[in-house]
Structure 1
Amino acid sequence: MIANITLPRQMVIGGGALKELPGLLGRVGVTKPLVVTDPFMRDSGRLAAVTELLDGAGIGWGVFADTVPDPTTDVVEAGARLIAGGDYDGLVALGGGSPIDTAKAMAILAANGGRMRDYKVPAPIPKMGLPLIAIPTTAGTGSEVTRFTVVTDTETDEKMLIAGIPATAIAAIVDYELTLSMPLRLTADTGIDALTHAIEAYVSKRANPFSDSMALSAMKLIWAHLPTVCAEPGNHAAREAMMLGATQAGMAFSNASVALVHGMSRPIGAFFHVPHGLSNAMLLPEITAFSAPAAMPRYAQCAHAMGLSDPAEGDQAAVARLIDALRRINRDLSVPTPERYGIDRKRYLELAPTMAQQALASGSPGNNPRVPTIEEMVTLYERVYA
């Protein structure tokens, strides 16, 4: 098997790694970055920690702090206009997956013109944008190491997947200390998001030896430490393990692709404004149960990596333990169903066929071990509702 592997050119990993930002900017040739972040990062002082480092090194900078939890074409277009009107030669993205995805999309749009929908999968991205350094503050999305960005089309409510080398950060700073203040709900949702990345990368039809190694390591780290970071948010060892696991999961799915959970999750987020990690968590147990019969040995290996079963145990028993464990952790971490989240049943069911069609069009379900029909996806949406 030949696998084309895409990763950032440089990564700085470890507690306190943020202080390496000025030197990293110099190594990638950026002299005046635009810092892309969100209002919380700006107002909480996190942004100041970055800009003070830049000031101390005599590096000029600008700020775009208008990102939103689910990147939209309106926000991306505003950011691209700021790039076009400035003299920036690079971007620094600070925050969770949304600021990082927004910065990626801004760079793509500023370099290529047109509309974001022109570049949604399977369309190519012709030109590279400004170099981007990604600094994640959550242990979940893995966006700092992926070749993807996801943007909601404001006109159609479609969550568009954009993929390619131009959507990959040139460098990343992975500093677990930035996650120490994450609240419980965000810690839980992004943690299950990362677990979903690892599982889907491992069972994907595009899995390869490199992605397998990252996915198995990520599953082991995330499953062992997610309960601890939720119960003990100040536990440095657990936070560091979760951050590494999330980054490894990002490397895995960026180079093997995600599958049915993500395909069906994106429309829930677009239509009902459910955070991405949470909508993944809502779907993961039921879709694993649907998919597992088509790839029992692979799902059994997931159970083994997570310490849920003995390798000597049969595949069917191991997979049963995996599905039970995924349902249990949703209960333990209070993951709501769409109904309990407050989504109107009538509108949800009316939109289910549209959501299924958008999921299929994204391409992700085609990577699933068991590729569903539109009707099967509608049934799965109905099944997870309550």
Structure 2
Amino acid sequence: MGARAARPLQGTEGRRLRLRAAQERHGQDPEDRVAKARRSVTSPEWTHTSAAQQVRFGRGRVTGVGKLVHEIGSRRVLLVTTAGRLDSDDGHRIVKALGRALVSTYAGARSHVPTGVVEEAMRQSRRDGVDSVVSFGGGSCADLGKAVCYFTEQEQGTPGSSYLDRPALLHVSIPTTYSGAELTPFFGMTDEHTRRKADAGGPTVAPIATIHDPELTLSTPARVSAETGMSALAHCVECAYSPRRTPEAEAIALAGVERIAEALPAVVDDPADIDARTRMLAGAVLGGRCLLNASMGVQQRLAQLLGGRAGIPHGLANAVILPHAIRLSLDTLPRELATVGAALGDAADPAGAVEALLGRLGLPTRLSDCGVDDDDIEAVARQAESGPDVAHDPRPVSEADARAILESAF
């Protein structure tokens, strides 16, 4: 592949001009688009629906998982995890706590949830006649657990139509990272042949309970903690300016931004600091609640597509794209983003505050440093416009906009 042409304009001003040029190429005056977007950013009408879900938070609470599955009526549990987590001290504690209820273990969870892995886990679930799932690990473990629940509903012909319906399989999720996937009613999975990552889910797919035990995050490497922590921050930031946010969601989002910005550097500086881990995990819960309470936008869509296409970790993709997605919306949402910036410590430059945090955490700031190439940029830009997340963005997002964000982040 040939070298990319040099760009004479650099920095924030250059990025803004490239975004504007992309918008004009798409055939609409960007000023007109901004004006229309401003009129539709917020609405006095909103609906808030919560999943029937219990969050158990605290140090050492994982030892109560056996009692929890008994309380919700589970008798035949499928444990979904990775081989490394299963063989860890924490994994042994969970297996012991589940006792006789544990009848099946699937330890093949992989990043981005390949469809082949889902099929394997489904075959095992059917074979062993399970009535519930316990997922233990990062976001991919939680998503795999939700995928098993979702496809079991589809096979049985009993997909839930509301949060009041009983799931075909009950799901208890135990996170070890800060992704927030354990709290949501949807999941992502990747077609290994097309390298396309897509979402699925439904009202009854959200885990019925979670155990957020900060002690379980102590073994998570600092780099993974930084990446998934930035993913939690991205969820909060997008929620803070989502056109579908509720007053509750906005309050949760801003609290999450402030908490994560304080706790995450402390976790990376000293991964054994249990107090910092506890504060950060609480921030991640707020990030997960943001995913539940407001629709995500272009930033989340691009991160998802990059994960499926280039294999970049979802948290890292979120981290690198976030400041560029913020800049796309600066003209549309000056008040909302100034509030976000204030929570990050810089009301005048929220995108710059995110970039400073990335540097503080030692994370890459360019997609080109994450294994992404020119072909990936083109493929993801073409796919982005059709996604439901983009339709929920506070301003109209075209293929040209998506490409401009990706080019800027490259």
Tell whether the structures are fold-level matches, with TM greater than 0.5: yes
Counterparts of residues 262-277 of structure 1 (less than 5 Å): 262-277=300-315
Q: Which amino acid aligns with 1:266?
A: Q
Question: Which of 173, 176, 201 is the equivalent residue of 1:134?
Answer: 173
2:256 corresponds in structure 1 to: 218
* Pairing 1:331–2:356 present: no
Distance 1:276 1:332 in 2: 19
Give ranges in structure 2 of 5+ residues lacking alignment. Answer: 1-44, 160-164
Give, in angstroms, the shift of residue 178 of structure 1: 0.5
1:182 corresponds in structure 2 to: 220
Question: Which of 123, 131, 143 is the equivalent residue of 1:89?
Answer: 131
Give, in angstroms, the shift of residue 250 of structure 1: 0.5
2:10 corresponds in structure 1 to: none
Residues 278-305 of structure 1: CA deviation (Å, up to 9, x unaligned)? 0111111111111221111111111223
Residues 77-113 of structure 1: CA deviation (Å, up to 9, x unaligned)? 1111111111211000000000000010011112213
Question: Which of 157, 182, 188 is the equivalent residue of 1:144?
Answer: 182
CA distance 1:319–1:371, shift in 2 (3 Å):
farther
Q: Do the aligned residues in 1 keep the contact of 2:78 with 2:102 (CA within 8 Å)?
A: no
Q: Do the aligned residues in 2 keep the contact of 1:108 with 1:127 (CA within 8 Å)?
A: no
* Pairing 1:112–2:154 present: yes
Question: Which of 141, 144, 147 is the equivalent residue of 1:102?
Answer: 144
Distance 2:180 2:124 in 1: 26
Q: Do the aligned residues in 1 keep the contact of 2:174 with 2:211 (CA within 8 Å)?
A: yes
> Kindly, what percent of the aligned residue pairs are identical?
28
1:26 corresponds in structure 2 to: 70
Distance 1:270 1:255 in 2: 25
Give, in angstroms, the shift of residue 177 of structure 1: 0.9
Q: Do the aligned residues in 2 keep the contact of 1:219 with 1:302 (CA within 8 Å)?
A: yes
2:284 corresponds in structure 1 to: 246
SS of the residue aligned with 1:293? Answer: coil
* Pairing 1:383–2:408 present: yes
Give, in angstroms, the shift of residue 267 of structure 1: 1.5
2:380 corresponds in structure 1 to: 355
2:15 corresponds in structure 1 to: none
Give, in angstroms, the shift of residue 132 of structure 1: 0.2
CA distance 1:8–1:219, shift in 2 (3 Å):
farther
CA distance 1:163–1:89, shift in 2 (3 Å):
closer
Query: Based on CA coordinates, which of the two structures has the bigger radius of gyration?
Result: 2
Q: CA RMSD in A?
A: 1.9
Give, in angstroms, the shift of residue 127 of structure 1: 9.0
Give, in angstroms, the shift of residue 356 of structure 1: 2.0
Q: Do the aligned residues in 1 keep the contact of 2:296 with 2:389 (CA within 8 Å)?
A: yes
CA distance 1:85–1:99, shift in 2 (3 Å):
same
1:46 corresponds in structure 2 to: 90
Give, in angstroms, the shift of residue 332 of structure 1: 2.1
Q: Which amino acid aligns with 1:18?
A: V
TM-score normalised by length of structure 1: 0.88
Distance 1:60 1:127 in 2: 21
Distance 1:127 1:28 in 2: 11
2:393 corresponds in structure 1 to: 368
Distance 1:359 1:73 in 2: 21
SS of the residue aligned with 1:205? Answer: coil
Name which of structure 1's ranges 220-229 and 360-369 shifts more when overlaid on structure 2. Answer: 360-369
Distance 1:319 1:374 in 2: 28
Q: Which amino acid aligns with 2:353?
A: A
1:258 corresponds in structure 2 to: 296
SS of the residue aligned with 2:330? Answer: helix
Q: Which amino acid aligns with 1:378?
A: R
Counterparts of residues 165-204 of structure 1 (less than 5 Å): 165-204=203-242
Q: Do the aligned residues in 2 keep the contact of 1:71 with 1:101 (CA within 8 Å)?
A: yes
Distance 1:221 1:260 in 2: 24
Distance 1:214 1:63 in 2: 35
Give, in angstroms, the shift of residue 357 of structure 1: 3.2
Q: Which amino acid aligns with 1:305?
A: A
Q: Which amino acid aligns with 2:59?
A: G
Distance 2:102 2:403 in 1: 51
Q: Do the aligned residues in 2 keep the contact of 1:77 with 1:109 (CA within 8 Å)?
A: no
CA distance 1:349–1:227, shift in 2 (3 Å):
same
CA distance 1:350–1:4, shift in 2 (3 Å):
same
Aligned length: 358
SS of the residue aligned with 1:303? Answer: helix
* Pairing 1:12–2:56 present: yes
Q: Do the aligned residues in 2 keep the contact of 1:291 with 1:368 (CA within 8 Å)?
A: no
Distance 2:275 2:376 in 1: 43
Q: Do the aligned residues in 2 keep the contact of 1:38 with 1:66 (CA within 8 Å)?
A: yes
TM-score normalised by length of structure 2: 0.83
Q: Do the aligned residues in 2 keep the contact of 1:6 with 1:165 (CA within 8 Å)?
A: no
